[in-house]
Amino acid sequence: MTVINKILITGATGFIGRELARKLVKTYSVVALVRSMPITPVPSVNYVQLSNFEDLAADDVSIQDIDVVIHIAAKAHLQGVSLAEFRLANTELSINLARAAAKNGVKRFIFLSSIGVNGVSSQTPFHIDDLSSPTEEYAISKFEAEVALKAIAAETGMEVVIIRPPLVYGKNAPGNFGKLTKLVEQNWLVPLGAINNKRSLVALDNLVDLINTCISHPKAANQTFLVSDDHDLSTTELVKLMRDAIGRGPVLLPVPTPLLKFTAKLLGKKNLIDRLCGNLQVDINHTKQTLGWSPKVTVEEGIKRCFEKEDIC
């Protein structure tokens, strides 16, 4: 690739996008396309508010003179959201943004997808060559975006890079990890002491580092990458690491998995427990070999950072 000077990020006010902007602004000129201005903006980031995000026009000044677009913004896992709504936010918006980027001479388009494109669970680690098998509405919308982006790349010559992370964790992580963090911090009894599964996770710092690598690495062009900490854990091991990180923690009750699942079903928490008890492993050898990349933060260090004092900058 030629020299990269200016980068546009979507989703820059979110959990992943904010940390990415903080890192990239040290090296590049960063434009953040947002629906609403952040309460605590990242210094030196140029925030551009676009209220009607779906109708981004190819001649919009925010997309001009951009070298690389990193598209993180998405409608995430939410109950009660239809496939049509996911498609509008995650598929159609991605297509519209990519076409506008290509028309304006953007060199590379990095798309944050989901490991859900491979599936919701795995008996053996997911591999980059596996057939895609999305089953949930969110993952289907991401997969359809991937297919469309590859077609745009073939049509226009703009390079596309796709990254499929599993659960991303870090300070103030949303979703199930955030709920588990609060549970550990409150020192309650936790019935997760007998889960012998294996799950791949990725620390926020490691995901951000991989995205940063993909901005300019010549071998990243038109590739799809799986990512993780390269250290799989059982849910029980994860909670133990969280306890160690705060120097105290809940008592882990060794409740048998079948009983845990039965109780969760009665309480309407089946999907949550299925994720906590199921296997989902990721093979990242292709990512490491193609890019010469490896996770910079160990899972132990990543968990410790979840409990560090907040840095508001």
- CA distance linking residue 56 with residue 98, whole number of Å: 10
DSSP strands (E only) in the chain: 6-10, 29-34, 46-49, 68-71, 108-112, 159-164, 167-169, 201-203, 224-226
CB-based contact 44:35 (threshold 8 Å): no
Q: Is 128 helix (H, G, I), strand (E, B) or coil?
A: coil
Q: Determine the Cα–Cα distance for residues 1 and 7; give it in Å rounded to an integer.
A: 14
Place of tokens 């952040």: 38
Catalytic positions: 138
DSSP labels for 228-254? --S--B-HHHHHHHHHHHHT----B--
Residue environment code for 213-229, b if the CB has 16+ CB neighbours within 10 A, otherwise e: bbbbbeebeebbbbbbb
CA distance 170 to 135: 26
CB count within 10 Å of CB 187 equals 13
| 60: its two tokens | 């919009």
Secondary structure (H, E, C), 192-218: CCCCCCCECEEEHHHHHHHHHHHHHCH
Helix/strand number for the chain, H first, E second: 11, 9
